[in-house]
Structure 1
């Protein structure tokens, strides 16, 4: 900032000094100096004033200070040098391994090298971004410095005696500062260029290695189905010596380096996931603690959950670890193998005591076989000496699978139904592995054996993954059951389980498919082929589209429909705690919620898929044509549903009668509504019928209902006593006092005097029970007071009884005498 003070001093001297000839001549020299320096220039530049030159000098000084500050922040070589040498070393190992002609690389190890190279590339790209950012900063400083050097102020001759001495000093110091900045810039550019060239060589090397790996991968894929070893009955064409310990420790050393390096590169992500894991674990622990300390039936609640109460920590592991391959980028096989070992150990401990002993012993044997297969999967080279012990493992695996099938047939309720399908699939895979081994396809045989075993173990782990999530949801619901008016107390857990379980089973199937393709080393091929298939542009008439856009569209619409249905379901549950107040319930407005979610989902689907609203307009135009021809009824029902949602003539939970059918409204859908009849049946009524037909809603404005009883007594009864008895029986607490209950003498019928009893009940759902209580009381009081309830009586006159009676029967007694005499005659007894 000292230059700023110098320029201010100069400005003060200029305006305060006397105006003599020599100073005026100096000023004139200052203003004309640019033309004197370059007299050959045809373009005349605007001559800056002294004040402008001073202001420029000040600005340039500040700008140079900022440049120096930027140049002082050197490139962070510590982080770059921490990763680049190791990346160079590992890339050298990859190149050496690819060029080694003495051994044959397995397809699994080729994929491992490919993943390793991707991780190296990712790390080098991070360093490249830092160097590129630094280079851009230096280029910007260079351009700014050149702009300062090209200014007229640097063309002045500081030796000119006509220029003020202080001004000469300021310009000299400014030039010195520019030179120092230029030297510092040159040093930084050379320094950065060194690392830039080193990273460039590294990227070139990685690109070459990637091409070599792609070539090796294609060769391995083509040779996968070809014969790579002799038949068992032929002479061996491979080295049968097997040093298992040497192969194991060599592979262990390499995989340990890859594993530790990968964890170190993803250290921040590992720390974050660890924090999330323990937070979730402590939350589950707190749920169990609350249930044990605050719930009256805690033992019954915890007994319904089989796995979480027994070991919450391992349960959380089973929930979290299957998701890790999707969170981490390009995880190596060593990392995935460690995750699988942890999952299998956790599953084994959780299944202890939950499975029958024979089935658990089968699982232990399978877990041991899984361990051997996963260790063999870590080997770098194809070792044909594994042939016979892998063949034994395949046979042993089929034996274990058959035991599981037999157990399933004897105990169909112990294991889920899909286990049988999974076991048969495992048997088929191991059978193919045995055939491939026998017919000299060793690589294919090992791949099938490893993939089938790992996939089966992962399927069992994912099955527990779904069950444990369901248990955690159930336990959380039980924790929320504090009082009867709470929201969670109205939740039917089995209904929620049916809805949510399908979603989590779908997620588990997707995860298992990912694992299965990765175990077969087909994941990259599948993803590449799928990407090409989904992103390739196709045309239909004059429109272009991709299957990816269509898939995204239907996927977003499907997800929005699931969200709409589940939101409506939980909203209807919430309504149950406001059943007595119709105004506070959402009721048929849930339909608007569903329509809103579906509309937003549709708009998001259109935007995410990139289909375009112009194409949607074409579809809507075709749809309107279809409406004109044959969809009027459907559209009528759809529009009627919207009208029902706005007008609210019915709500969910209302008791209605329509078209001779009565029941309780269970759902107001987009096209139709669901009514549950009082006999338990469910009636589906189109929304159009609800608006077009006469609709009786017993609970439209309130829950009250009037009950009417017609009671008949004999003509010889005391009518005042009957009235008193009826009045007394309707003086119950459940019967409303306003409007007051009333008893009327209704009519003189054919066989009875009829009384009309009227009373109101507060709750529509209870009127049948209250009517039952009143009628039982009336009947009991009538019996105690000798009041007769008449019933219809008719006199029967028989004129003739064909083929049996040949004379007129005057009375019932004569008919009985006749039948009695006929019976005695048939049995040999006396007759009249």
Structure 2
């Protein structure tokens, strides 16, 4: 046994030695094999995830599949799409047939309507397209998630592997089955969505083709607008004038009714919202009237000053609300605008009843009748040459009615606004052009001009009432706010506000009327497009680029900020002028800081909104600083002085001041200069620099008190103690302050009088002249009652010699002059 152990030990030693000898030769090979085995082991680990990790993944994937099934279970909302698409397909088919019909003479107005209709259809289809696109994106996301799940290692496991637990095998099988079901549902939804996506895509292509066709027809119609499209009146007509006008009317009526109903249905949400706003506005105005009737002592006088709102509140609200609706609704159809115009014109007619003389109101009724005929004719889809003589007669009647309005305006200049005459002349000019176009065979142009003239005139009258009614609502609201004398609204000068606000609303009305006029002559789209191109085209100047749109935005925002700043200053100055006794409660010169702040914010907004770089503004400011250095020192001095006045507040609006020999009440502290209302009613403009550089006397800087000084002279023979007693007694009135105590001093012995100096204080600077008048009247009456003489300068004239001896019979200077004249005549004879 011992030998056997020794043999084994020797064997291991030899083996170890051999291994050591050969280890250096096969070291690289062994290392490579080891690395391959390690990589294979790691790969096997990745391919065969742990049981716990697989179970967690299976749970996450199951939750994810349930979420995907929920998304796929929400099918595409096809109800609205199925409702819109067939109608859109039928309507586009009708439009296509009309455009492809060579015998159809489509009017330019109807082409615009078709173009507008296609835009509304495109908007509807785009809504459906967005829904389908959103659904497609959801399906794509689900598809990517399913693909990610299927590529996971858990799906590559062999469920028949006996090393995998039976329960785990079952979970993997269920996960695969669920994935397959989800994928099958996904494919069904993809096919379903692709069907609608195809139809919508086909509709968008069709709409684009029809839009191009309409654009081509419009360009053709615009070019032919000035060309002759029918025979002269004295020639035999080559066109078919046998079309049944009533048939055209009823067919157009049905078509426009369908378009209008569909448009209102598509805009139903906005229509309901605006109806609520209209109702709230009406209730607000109605509540104003109720408050005036219930709380105001002179409610009848207040309501009589408003001509329309108190008597026809609902109709007045319509006139204010309806003109702005075309700007709120997107792409309004001609039928929709026509209905709005009918409502406004009828409402205006009811409001004018009783406000105009009967003859003028009958004239207006005749014009309304012409307006209705023109607007109905404007809805025709086809050009009907049988209208020629109707339009010719309407133009002549319209000119006759317009001339009567001019005659009435000149005989009653105060009854109608001044712009009516200009508007009437414009209407007459348009109708004359319509008649000339009709005579020279330009029927389409004639109808367009006549319709535009009539509709624009009616819309202008409606917009005029639009401004008047807004002014009445503002006036009534101000009257409602006048509850206490200390409230701000009770001091508002309504007429001053009216002048300012009316300009704004007249400007708004002018813009609305311009929009209407361009739309009436079918130039609105062209004008908008040309304006957009003109304003957005980049232009170069030296090394910088700009657009006129940026410049317009810049100046528009600067102008708006200046208007806002001026109005803030105006209202604040009204408030300050009524708080003269409480200087601390007034904004005063702080209004200037508010104005500067508004202007600065407006300027920064204008720079940012216009896209003008601040580097370019810096260049402008640098050039401006150079100008300041050469010739604008005085202006900059006044500007800086204005800022100093705003911060230091040596003067406030309503202060009584004296500067440079001028005195008055501060009315406005401006950016460059200030206004002083002199006591004689004149307004003095004083540069802000002069207010700081000259001696400034402010009588109301810290309070309203003022000392009044009187110099009273009495004769030398008067009782001085009695005079002092009388003067002291007259200073015992309530308006004179008791502290400081009034004083009476003997001032001086003058040439012809003994002068007393009377000093007393008054509480309110604005009343010191009245109190002084009362005191002096009392002193004069007391002196007269007590026999105190107030001396006045007297001179004794002693005549030592006279060139002629006076006759005792001469009683007057006139007789003496007559005697001298007779003597001169006698001497000349001699």
TM-score (norm 1): 0.92
User: 1:277 matched to which residue of 2?
Assistant: 278
Where has structure 1 moved over 6 Å in runs of 4 or more?
41-44, 812-815, 824-828
Q: Can you list the C-alpha shifts for 1:194-250, whole angstroms capped at 9, x where unaligned?
A: 000000000000000000000000000000000000001111111222422211111
1:767 alignment counterpart = 768
Contact 1:723 1:743 in 2 (8 A): yes
CA distance 1:134–1:797, change in 2 (3 Å) = farther
Query: How big is the shift at 1:292?
Result: 1.4
- Once the two structures are superposed, the pairs formed by residues 754-793 of structure 1 within 5 Å of their partners are 754-793=755-794
- Cα drift, residue 574 of structure 1: 2.5
Determine the C-alpha separation between the residues in 1 that align with 2:618 and 2:227.
54
1:482 aligned to 2:479?
no
Name the CA distance, whole Å, in 2 between partners of 1:148 and 1:207. 42
Contact 1:351 1:360 in 2 (8 A): yes
* Match in the other structure for 1:407: 408
| 8 Å CA contact 1:514, 1:523 repeated in 2 | yes
| Rounded Cα–Cα distance in structure 1 between residues aligned with 2:411 and 2:798 | 69
Secondary structure of 1:325 counterpart: helix
Matches within 5 A, 1:490-501: 490-501=491-502
Matched, 1:640 2:641: yes
> Which of the residues 800, 803, 806 maps onto 1:806?
803
Distance 2:638 2:172 in 1: 87
Matches within 5 A, 1:624-639: 624-639=625-640
Deviation by residue 1:564-618 (Cα, 9 ceiling, x = unmatched): 1111111222324432111121100000000111111111111111111111111
Deviations 1:496-532 (A, max 9, x none): 0011000000000000000000000000000000000
Contact 1:799 1:808 in 2 (8 A): no
Trace 1:347-496 onto structure 2 (pairs within 5 A): 347-496=348-497
Is residue 2:118 matched to residue 1:117? yes
1: CA distance between counterparts of 2:755 and 2:267? 89
The within-5 A match list for 1:134-153 is 134-153=135-154
Counterpart of 1:600 in structure 2 is 601
For 1:682 and 1:275, locate their aligned partners in 2 and report how far apart those are by CA, in whole Å: 50
Conserved 8 A contact 2:589-2:645: yes
In structure 2, do the counterparts of structure 1 residues 726 and 263 end up closer, same or farther at CA, with 3 Å as the change threshold?
A: same
| Corresponding residue for residue 667 of structure 1 | 668
Does 2:219 correspond to 1:222? Answer: no
User: How big is the shift at 1:46?
Assistant: 7.0
Contact 1:135-1:189 at 8 Å conserved across structures: yes
Which residue of structure 2 lines up, in the alignment, with residue 22 of structure 1? none
Per the TM alignment, residue 814 of structure 1 is displaced from its structure 2 partner at its CA by 9.9
Does structure 1 retain, via aligned residues, the 8 Å contact 2:245–2:386? no
Q: Find the structure with the greater CA-based Rg.
A: 2
- Give, in whole Å, the separation in 2 of the partners of 1:66 and 1:419: 70
Separation in 2, partners of 1:688, 1:582:
23
Please tell me whether residue 531 in structure 1 is matched to residue 528 in structure 2: no
Q: Counterpart in 1 of 2:561?
A: 560
3-state SS, counterpart of residue 203 of structure 1: helix
Which residue in the other structure is 1:516 paired with? 517
Taking the aligned partners of 1:120 and 1:748, their CA distance within structure 2 comes to 103
- Give the TM-score taking structure 2 as reference length: 0.92
Inter-partner Cα distance in structure 2 for 1:243 and 1:788: 108
Distance in 2 between residues matched to 1:799 and 1:164, nearest whole Å: 159
What residue number does 1:320 align with? Answer: 321
For residues 47 and 793 of structure 1, do their structure 2 counterparts lie closer, same or farther at Cα, with a shift above 3 Å needed? farther
Trace 1:570-585 onto structure 2 (pairs within 5 A): 570-585=571-586
Aligned position for 1:711: 712
1:552 Cα deviation from its structure 2 partner: 0.3
Q: Structure 2: 5+ residue runs without aligned partners? A: 1-35, 824-830
Structure 1 partner of 2:745: 744
Provide the C-alpha distance between the structure 1 equivalents of 2:800 and 2:96, rounded to a whole number of angstroms. Answer: 119
Q: Which residue of 1 aligns with 2:614?
A: 613
3-state SS in 1 of match to 2:751: coil
Supply the distance in 1 between the matched residues of 2:633 and 2:706 (Cα, whole angstroms): 38
Aligned match of 2:19: none
Measured in 2, the distance between the counterparts of 1:330 and 1:49 equals 64
Are residues 737 and 217 of structure 1, via their aligned partners in 2, closer, same or farther at CA, if it must alter by over 3 Å? same
In 2: Cα distance, 1:454 partner to 1:687 partner: 53
Q: Please report how far the alpha carbon of residue 734 of structure 1 lies from its aligned counterpart in structure 2 after TM superposition.
A: 1.1
| Greater shift in the superposed pair: 624-633 or 512-521 | 624-633
Displacement of 1:780? 1.2
- In structure 1, the partner of 2:695 is 694
Deviates more, 1:229-238 or 1:508-517: 229-238
Counterpart residue number, 1:200: 201
Aligned 8 A contact 1:387 1:442 in 2: yes
Quote the Cα distance in structure 2 between the aligned partners of 1:445 and 1:817: 93
Counterpart Cα distance in 2 of 1:280 and 1:386: 43
Tell whether 2:48 aligns with 1:56: no
Give 1:726 shift.
1.1
Task: Quote how far apart the aligned CAs of 1:816 are.
Answer: 4.7
Partner SS state of residue 584, structure 2: coil
More divergent stretch after superposition (105-114 vs 42-51): 42-51
Match in the other structure for 1:268: 269
Tell me how large the CA RMSD over aligned residues is: 2.1
* Count of paired positions: 786
